[in-house]
Amino acid sequence: MAENSNLVQRQQMARDAEDDIDFANLFGVLRDHWLLIALTAFFAMLLAMVYSHFATPIYKGDALLQVEQKSGGVPGFSELNQMFRQEASTAAEIEILRSRMILKEVISRLKMDIVARPDRHPILGKFTAPPPAPSFVPHPVFSGYRDSETLINIGAFTLPERLRGHAFKLKEEEGLPALYLGGKLVGKAPLGEPIVSDDGTIRLSITEWKFGNEPITLIKLPEVAAINRLRGSLSVREIGKTGMLAMTMTGPDKQQIKAVLDTVSRVYILQNIERRSAEAENSLDFLSQQLPEIKGKLTSAEEKLNAYRLESESVDLTMETQSVLQRSVELEAKINELKIQEGEIASRFTREHPAYQTLLRQRNSLVEEKSELDQQIKELPKTQQEILRLMRDVEVTQQIYVGLLNKAQELRILKAGTVGSVRIIDEALVQPSPIKPKKAGLILMATLMGGLAAAGIVLLRALLNKGIESPDKLEEQGVSVYAAIPLSEQQQKAERLTSRFKHRKKNPEQEVIPLLASSDPNDLAIEALRSLRTSLHFAMMDANNNVLMVAGPSPSVGKSFVSANLAAVLAKAGQKVLLIDADMRKGHLHRFFKGPHDIGLSDFLSGQSVKKDIIYQTDDQKLHLIPRGKAPPNPSELLMHERFSTLMAELSSEYDLILVDTPPILAVTDAAIIGQLAGSSLLVARYGLNSVKEVDAALTRFAQNNVEIKGAILNCMERRASNEYGYYAYEYGSSND
């Protein structure tokens, strides 16, 4: 029960260790990979420098407009203008500026729907393109192209709507410009004459031409595409609530930016003026229709008055009648003027509009006053009434006619001097320096992003990598660490050299791996094995035999390296050591020692050899070797045979220590079988490769088979800032050098 409790506790501790994040360790990881991070940042900086050198610079231009208050009344009628006065809507003006009405006119004036560019690769072409023309040399703003070798300026390009957006090719044939579509010749003509297709639907006029051995791609954009293209680069915003409109535009050509902004401003102001003068024009048209009618009424009234005077032999008016006449004329004039205004307002507003209702109330009031005056007139003598009526008609009509003549003249003057509600405050100005790419900022940002990206990848790998990087990780799980063996650079070089020539050998199993304990006995890895030798002396004092099993959770942890070099270190200390390669599947302990090792453990266990034939003498008189032998089909069954236990019992009495190298426990069960006969067992885990969970699973597998693991060996410890043990061990070794 106690053993099961310890197993459960160790498994829980392993899970907790996998989930913990050690920030100090992560900082050490960054220190360990500082060179990778620095190189990545440097490479990102180089890419940013190359990009900023070849990237097309983008410039920014701006212009400033002011939208003033607008009087929206009826021109010529000051009484109602205050009623119709309103603020110009800045939001509406912004939309007008970006409307198709304005942009379409700008595109038409500048021929922005014609695209001319060299026919070259969009990326590689930058490296092969001729240098641009000097800045002081004029070049087409739109509908053309110029560099140091090529010049083309398009005067006009008309074609059917269905061909808009298609790419034409402009070449030179026999010294003449030639236009192609889809490889088919459209036409060619001398400079100054238009190129016309056979059916006459395509017509191209070229004003300037210099062929530079590069075909020119010519495209007439669809109207919508050209408008969207211009709208996408044009920005309009109001500055606060001041009525000031800031127009900005970005692009690769400073001349084009200035031309577009200036043209947009001019077109916008012209339409604003036309819109305001249109109001005066409408009112003038209305008055022009009314004047002949009023003139006819005046003539008729005068004729009637003269005829009545002749008939009545000239009747003079009394003072009272003249006063009534004057009041009546004034009322009639006002009522008639309101009628004319009503006709103008009716074309602009409905009867429910407040302005229309105000005018009706004024007219009704005057009509009521006129009715009262008419009652007074009825009390006069009949002759006086008739004279008063006729003279009133003449004077009223004459006043209306003269007033309309004056207003018509005022409207003509107003129309001629109309000023829009918009004015240009600042004309277009393009900044001399490009807004992007900002070389210094781009290089700095790319360097930082490169470094951060590399650091992020390093940290992500560290978080995802659950490999053991410190003996403390094993100690925390209750596993005693007998030794932490630093990574041997000499051993790595020897293994790389061996693997390099492996494919050249007919039998790579005969290739010898240098034994580090013999080739470089002062290596830190061998020093660690000497420390392990001392620890084993005390650990095996209470063991039931002198058999030491070296196992591992998975392949490639360095069991064979540890076993071979540990055996050599023990032998140099004066002990008689037997090294057994019990990995009959893939064991390669024999490669650490010279000489033929064809017969081995598998041959003895299968009954094909005797004991004396499988024990080999190495260069060290105290160290003997039993190689694996021929790879059998049933290694586990051979190890369970009585011959193996008998062999181990016999050899135990002949040697001071028997060291058995076994296959990985998580792969096969051979180590669990051998562990039944071993007095002591050690588990080798590799730094950064094996996780705490793997070690725990291996220990669990051994515990299930009643095999006690004395402790662990952490192999291939690397010099890392995140690993204090490895760091100080290497520092100590460096000082000895």
Highest mean pLDDT among 478-487, 645-654, 689-698, 710-719: 645-654
Q: pLDDT of 301-310, one tens digit each?
A: 777 767 766 6
* 568 token code pair: 């050599």
The enclosing domain of 520 has a CATH number of 3.40.50.300
Helix (H, G, I), strand (E, B) or coil at 276: helix
**What's the pLDDT score for residue 727?**
40
- Whether 561 maps to a domain, the answer reads yes
Are residues 124 and 180 located together in one domain of the fold? Answer: yes
- Whether 430 maps to a domain, the answer reads no
What is the per-residue burial (b if ≥16 Cβ within 10 Å, else e) of 263-292?
bbbebbbebbeeebbebbbbbbebbeebee
Are residues 455 and 477 located together in one domain of the fold? Answer: no
Please identify, among 261, 290, 315, the residue that sits at the C-terminal boundary of a domain: 261
- Please answer whether residues 73 and 83 qualify as being in contact, where contact means their C-beta atoms are separated by less than 8 angstroms: yes
Mean pLDDT of 491-495: 67
Please give the Cα distance from 472 to 481 (Å, whole number).
9
Mean pLDDT of 525-547: 89
Are residues 444 and 393 located together in one domain of the fold? Answer: no
Q: Which helix (H) or strand (E) holds 251?
A: strand 244-251
- Please answer whether residues 470 and 725 qualify as being in contact, where contact means their C-beta atoms are separated by less than 8 angstroms: yes
Are residues 218 and 202 located together in one domain of the fold? Answer: yes
Q: pLDDT of 68-127, one tens digit each?
A: 765 444 444 444 344 444 445 788 889 999 999 999 999 999 999 999 988 887 666 666
Please give the Cα distance from 682 to 666 (Å, whole number).
15
Helix (H, G, I), strand (E, B) or coil at 624: strand
Please give the Cα distance from 405 to 284 (Å, whole number).
10
What letter would DSSP give residue 577?
E
Give the contacts of 219 (CB within 8 A, at least 6 positions apart).
Answer: 114, 115, 165, 166, 167, 168
- Whether 266 maps to a domain, the answer reads no
Q: Closest Cα to residue 641, out of 681, 697, 601, 612?
A: 601
Highest mean pLDDT among 3-12, 226-235, 360-369, 385-394: 226-235
**Helix, strand, coil percentages for the chain (3-state, nearest 5):** 50, 20, 30
Please give the Cα distance from 553 to 667 (Å, whole number).
8
- Whether 281 maps to a domain, the answer reads yes
Q: Closest Cα to residue 171, out of 127, 118, 224, 131?
A: 118
Are residues 402 and 512 located together in one domain of the fold? Answer: no
Higher pLDDT, residue 14 or 317: 317
- Residue 439 pLDDT greater than 80, yes or no: yes
Q: What is the pTM of this model?
A: 0.55
Q: pLDDT of 224-236, one tens digit each?
A: 999 999 999 999 9
Range with lowest mean pLDDT among 332-346, 588-602, 704-718:
332-346
Give the Cβ contact number of residue 536 at 10 Å. Answer: 23
**What's the pLDDT score for residue 72?**
45
Counting residues of the chain whose pLDDT is more than 90, the rounded percentage is 38
- Whether 656 maps to a domain, the answer reads yes
* 563 token code pair: 């076993």
Query: Rg of the chain over CA atoms, in angstroms?
Result: 53
**What's the pLDDT score for residue 300?**
82
Are residues 22 and 65 located together in one domain of the fold? Answer: no
Are residues 66 and 199 located together in one domain of the fold? Answer: yes
Please identify, among 364, 393, 423, the residue that sits at the C-terminal boundary of a domain: 423
Higher pLDDT, residue 733 or 488: 488
Query: In one letter, which amino acid is 374?
Result: D
Cα dihedral: 633, 636, 639, 641 (round 10): -80
Helix (H, G, I), strand (E, B) or coil at 565: helix
Are residues 483 and 443 located together in one domain of the fold? Answer: no
Are residues 599 and 649 located together in one domain of the fold? Answer: yes
Q: Which helix (H) or strand (E) holds 333?
A: helix 319-346
Average pLDDT over the chain, rounded to an integer: 81
- Whether 513 maps to a domain, the answer reads yes
Q: Which string of DSSP letters, residue by residue, matches 286-301?
A: HHHHHHHHHHHHHHHH
**What's the pLDDT score for residue 722?**
56
Mapping DSSP onto H, E and C, the string for 167-222 reads EEEEEEECCEEEEEECCEEEEECCCCCCEECCCCCCEEEEEEEECCCCCEEEEECC
Q: pLDDT of 600-657, one tens digit each?
A: 999 999 999 999 999 999 989 999 999 999 989 899 999 999 999 999 999 999 999 9
Per-residue confidence band for 1, with pLDDT thresholds at 50, 70 and 90: very low
Per-residue confidence band for 460, with pLDDT thresholds at 50, 70 and 90: confident
Counting residues of the chain whose pLDDT is more than 70, the rounded percentage is 78
Mean pLDDT of 44-60: 89
Cα dihedral: 562, 563, 564, 567 (round 10): 110
- Residue 318 pLDDT greater than 70, yes or no: no
**What's the pLDDT score for residue 386?**
66
Please give the Cα distance from 178 to 218 (Å, whole number).
12
**What's the pLDDT score for residue 322?**
63
Q: Closest Cα to residue 411, out of 268, 276, 296?
A: 276
Q: Closest Cα to residue 670, out of 570, 562, 585?
A: 585
Domain count, the chain: 4
Are residues 251 and 277 located together in one domain of the fold? Answer: no
In this structure, the strands spanning 547-551 and 657-661 are parallel
Are residues 706 and 722 located together in one domain of the fold? Answer: yes
Helix (H, G, I), strand (E, B) or coil at 241: coil
Per-residue confidence band for 295, with pLDDT thresholds at 50, 70 and 90: confident
Q: pLDDT of 176-196, one tens digit each?
A: 999 999 889 999 999 889 999
Give the contacts of 498 (CB within 8 A, at least 6 positions apart).
Answer: 511, 512, 513, 591
- Residue 571 pLDDT greater than 50, yes or no: yes
Q: Which string of DSSP letters, residue by residue, matches 45-66?
A: HHHHHHHHHHSPPBEEEEEEEE
- Residue 590 pLDDT greater than 50, yes or no: yes
- Residue 284 pLDDT greater than 80, yes or no: no
Q: Closest Cα to residue 294, out of 380, 216, 190, 402?
A: 402
- Please answer whether residues 720 and 505 qualify as being in contact, where contact means their C-beta atoms are separated by less than 8 angstroms: no
- Residue 314 pLDDT greater than 70, yes or no: no
Please identify, among 464, 482, 514, the residue that sits at the C-terminal boundary of a domain: 464
Please give the Cα distance from 390 to 304 (Å, whole number).
7
- Please answer whether residues 355 and 84 qualify as being in contact, where contact means their C-beta atoms are separated by less than 8 angstroms: yes
Higher pLDDT, residue 585 or 494: 585
- Please answer whether residues 169 and 216 qualify as being in contact, where contact means their C-beta atoms are separated by less than 8 angstroms: yes
Q: Quick one: 718 exposed, middle or buried, by C-beta within 10 A (0-12, 13-18, 19+)? A: middle
- Whether 627 maps to a domain, the answer reads yes
**What's the pLDDT score for residue 236?**
93
Per-residue confidence band for 241, with pLDDT thresholds at 50, 70 and 90: confident
- Residue 324 pLDDT greater than 70, yes or no: no
Are residues 38 and 159 located together in one domain of the fold? Answer: no
Tell me which residue range forms the domain holding 572. Answer: 471-736
Give the Cβ contact number of residue 14 at 10 Å. Answer: 24
**What's the pLDDT score for residue 321?**
62
> What spatial distance separates the first Cα and last Cα of the chain, rounded to whole Å?
52
Per-residue confidence band for 132, with pLDDT thresholds at 50, 70 and 90: confident
CA 723 to chain centre: 38
- Whether 431 maps to a domain, the answer reads no
